Chain A
Amino acid sequence: MRKVNSIDGRNFREMFTAATNWLEKSVSDIDALNVFPVPDGDTGTNMLLTMHSTIEEADKKINGSVSAVCQAMSHGALIGARGNSGVILSQIWCGLAKGLSGKETFNGSDLAEALTQASIMAYKGLSNPVEGTILTVVKDASAAAREQAAKSDNDVISVMEATVNAANESVANTPRLLPVLKEAGVVDAGGQGLYTLLEGALRYLNGEAELMQFRKPQMVASSIPLTPLVFTAPERVAIDEIPFGYCTEMMLKGQGLEPDKLRKKLNGKGESLIVVGDDTTVRVHIHTLDPGNVMHYLTALGTIHSVSVRNMDEQHQDFLELQKQRAPATGIAIIAVVPGDRLSEVFSSLGVTSVVPGGQTMNPSTKDLLQAAEQSASDKVIILPNNKNIVLTAGQVQSLTEKTIRVVQSKTIPQGVAALLAFDYEADFETNASIMTEALSTVKSIEVTRAVRSTKLDGLSIKKKQAIGFLDGALMSVGDNMVATVKEVLEKSGLDKADVVTIYYGEDATEADAEEISNGISEKYPNLQVEVVNGNQPHYDYIISVE
């Protein structure tokens, strides 16, 4: 691991731009975690929007010192903060700016100091700080940073590593500290968001910018076993919280403003009160049944801007609906390895709990599969490897986890789909593993691609770049013309006895060609049900299932 002793303003800005892009990828996952202080499912979105504003301001200080850039970011966060989590994040930025004030560049110990200030500011902004939230995470992260800075020789990366590891552990621990999280079966959303940001920044420092484009941030798994999310909505959410009302936010601008005094005054007017700012600009966030009253009070002190009043009850209903849809209704999680975004969407739309990207050329590691299994809300997990090179890896997962894993040994995408559709919502885990395994043999898989080298296989000569078609792994056809090759393999797949043919065309194929193939077999076999799906998969121009 390389060492970095100093980071300037430009690198700082780039670090967090990368971190923001990283956060963007898990916004909906984080939104789904949110149960405190009110289940309105916005944390991911709010933190992202806050970061967008943060980076926007930073972009205005391209050549500035770290101090100037961070100051700009803090300002951006303050004006762009959305929701509880956004506001606390802006406090974190305020603290970072304070810690890095006056500095041209920063090193490991500067970073530890800045994180410490961030933690202090985050707690300060709240009249009622609660442990087991983003607050605990920033506190734990800053403690680890300080410890590491004292040991290492100002190396930023090692301090950042320690910070990120501590943040991860802290997020995993949040259900232990906050009962509502344990009850709802999730880790804290704000904490997860902060962790993802820090992790993104670290990955950037480690030179993983390109890798980050193809990956997705993993959600932190809880350190205590959580009950599977068979959905019963948490009735009671926060201690002392009045059930819902209006989430009211606004900026107050004026002269001689006193945030602390203001906080005391507003304390009785609602819940989840956050008042942050300085003598000219104060941001107020409150959950109240009477937003008019709060605004009335503030307009006497200055001018109000960017007012937002949201009905939390409506949001709560939407959130419950979203959760209901996501909840594995059966207590069984299904993880599938799928290449390409579109095919992944197809699997997700059929009820797969999570998709691990990967396939022929990019096999996922045991760790990738393990993480997906650990992160799912169920203790019983079925894995669909969908590729013969991944079956063994999948088999390794059981020995690394307390959960019960069954690998349904799908060797192709069509087998994976067949197994998935065969899932019986009324049957138990073991029975389903059997049913799904039996379903594998009900489908024939055709895979057609272009040869990457010249060779001889199954008695046929192949020249590099020629189209080669396989039926259940056996080479059936070789040719220069892709469409002709596909048709040839189809002819050998027993279409006269088949019911349904599904053609998934990949990123190197066109819809027009896929339609041509489809029409060709429909004409010849009018009773056959033919479906064309844009799988956009890499490597295989056509993947076809024959059932």
Chain B
Amino acid sequence: MTVKIVTDSTSDITGDMAQELGITVVPLTVSFGHESFLDRVEISTDDFYRRLEKEAIFPTTTQPAPGIFAEIYNKLAEETDEILVIVISSKLSGTYQSATNAINMVQKKCRIEVIDSTSVAMGFGLLVITAAKAAREGASLDEVVDIVNKGIPRSHLIIYFETLKYLAKGGRIGKAQGLLGAMLSFKPILTIKNGVMSPLTRMRSKAAGLDYIRSFVGGFPNIEKLAVEYSTTATDADKLADSLSENIPKEKIYRSTVSPVLGAYAGPGALAITILEAEK
């Protein structure tokens, strides 16, 4: 039986990708005060960012309840006996807890493995896609788990931020804490390391930031997959993807948007690039 792949909405895989590859996406929740929305389902990215910039209160986010995962496990267990769940870094969200706790609630006999991606956005989204493709081609659960685990250290996420204020307010700033309180403006470029946000460097302007990203990508000789995402600036992302496609075939480039739940921390103007290095 085919391994079924489950992930959460912060993997940023688009509806099309999910449908095409048979991936089940479990949404987190983003709330503005008392109004709650299921990530990517009940609120569009445009609406979300419009509200983000206008509202006085910062949005909050919540992981899916274990019960939601259990429901999905039970449903999928009717079609398969092997499920692989790949979720956002456990240091950034309690989603991993929910996904693991839900295993006890499954009635049918089914093998369920949960992997803490230690990453976020396409930083693990690309791995979810890789896993789904392998599963479709008949790989066993153990084989897919192995593919994902080997992929995690080969996945490099860099994020260009317009501002760190959302990340700081949301308590997810991690090791980039030291970048706060600067008396000079700059655009921070962060990565994720050991499951938490970590500083990479600082650029004086967006133009310099985009140059940095291009040369960062250029530093990888063999790229298996590349993802380019944005929170609000589609044009910047398009221009970036175009310049990167000069050296990387278009089929290897995946385009997406940063989900509202992640957007609550990334803020407007963020660009996220993921490089999944080819196996050596």
Residues of A whose CB lies within 8 Å of any CB of B are 324-325, 329, 345-346, 349-351, 417-418, 421-426, 499-500, 502, 529, 531, 533, 547
Please name all residues of chain B whose beta carbon is closer than 8 Å to the beta carbon of A346 when the two chains form the complex.
183-184
Would you give the shortest CB distance from A355 to chain B, in whole angstroms?
Answer: 13
Stretch at the interface among B72-80, B202-210, B262-270: B202-210
- Is B201 positioned at the interface, with any CB of A under 8 Å from its CB? yes
Contact between B201 and A417, CB atoms less than 8 A apart:
no
- Is B98 positioned at the interface, with any CB of A under 8 Å from its CB? no
Docked Cα-Cα span, A524 to B175, in Å, equals 40
Would you give the shortest CB distance from B215 to chain A, in whole angstroms?
Answer: 11
Contact between A547 and B177, CB atoms less than 8 A apart:
no
Docked Cα-Cα span, A7 to B178, in Å, equals 48
Docked Cα-Cα span, A228 to B104, in Å, equals 45
Decide yes or no: A531 and B184 within 8 Å by CB, A421-B203, A425-B198, A499-B208 being known contacts: yes
Contact between B183 and A500, CB atoms less than 8 A apart:
no
The B contact surface, by secondary structure, is mixed
Please name all residues of chain B whose beta carbon is closer than 8 Å to the beta carbon of A531 when the two chains form the complex.
184-185
Please name all residues of chain A whose beta carbon is closer than 8 Å to the beta carbon of B166 when the two chains form the complex.
none
Please name all residues of chain A whose beta carbon is closer than 8 Å to the beta carbon of B191 when the two chains form the complex.
426
Docked Cα-Cα span, A425 to B202, in Å, equals 10
Please name all residues of chain B whose beta carbon is closer than 8 Å to the beta carbon of A350 when the two chains form the complex.
182-184
Give the interface size bracket for B toward A.
20 to 34
Docked Cα-Cα span, A417 to B184, in Å, equals 9
In this complex, which of B178, B193, B199, B204 has the most chain A Cβ atoms within 10 angstroms of its Cβ?
B204
Please name all residues of chain B whose beta carbon is closer than 8 Å to the beta carbon of A329 when the two chains form the complex.
175, 178, 199
Within 8 A of A (CB), among B172-187: 175, 177-179, 181-186
- Is B200 positioned at the interface, with any CB of A under 8 Å from its CB? yes
Would you give the shortest CB distance from A434 to chain B, in whole angstroms?
Answer: 14
Please name all residues of chain B whose beta carbon is closer than 8 Å to the beta carbon of A418 when the two chains form the complex.
204
Please name all residues of chain A whose beta carbon is closer than 8 Å to the beta carbon of B208 when the two chains form the complex.
499, 547
Contact between B184 and A325, CB atoms less than 8 A apart:
no
Docked Cα-Cα span, A350 to B202, in Å, equals 10
Please name all residues of chain A whose beta carbon is closer than 8 Å to the beta carbon of B202 when the two chains form the complex.
421-423
Residue of B nearest to A528 (CB): B205
Please name all residues of chain B whose beta carbon is closer than 8 Å to the beta carbon of A502 when the two chains form the complex.
184
Residue of B nearest to A504 (CB): B184
Residues of B whose CB lies within 8 Å of any CB of A are 175, 177-179, 181-186, 191, 193, 198-205, 207-208
Q: Contacts A350-B184, A422-B201, A423-B201 given; 15 further ones with Cβ under 8 A?
A: A325-B177, A329-B175, A329-B199, A345-B183, A349-B184, A421-B203, A422-B202, A424-B200, A425-B198, A499-B205, A500-B204, A502-B184, A529-B204, A533-B183, A547-B205
Please name all residues of chain B whose beta carbon is closer than 8 Å to the beta carbon of A349 when the two chains form the complex.
181-184
Would you give the shortest CB distance from A530 to chain B, in whole angstroms?
Answer: 11
Residue of B nearest to A442 (CB): B208
Which of these, A325, A351, A424, A500, contacts B205 with CB under 8 Å?
Answer: A500
Which of these, A345, A426, A499, A533, contacts B200 with CB under 8 Å?
Answer: A426
Would you give the shortest CB distance from A211 to chain B, in whole angstroms?
Answer: 28
Contact between B186 and A421, CB atoms less than 8 A apart:
yes
Please name all residues of chain A whose beta carbon is closer than 8 Å to the beta carbon of B182 when the two chains form the complex.
349-350
Would you give the shortest CB distance from B172 to chain A, in whole angstroms?
Answer: 15
Contact between B177 and A499, CB atoms less than 8 A apart:
no
Docked Cα-Cα span, A351 to B178, in Å, equals 7
Would you give the shortest CB distance from A214 to chain B, in whole angstroms?
Answer: 22
Contact between A425 and B201, CB atoms less than 8 A apart:
yes
Would you give the shortest CB distance from B211 to chain A, in whole angstroms?
Answer: 10
Would you give the shortest CB distance from B212 to chain A, in whole angstroms?
Answer: 10
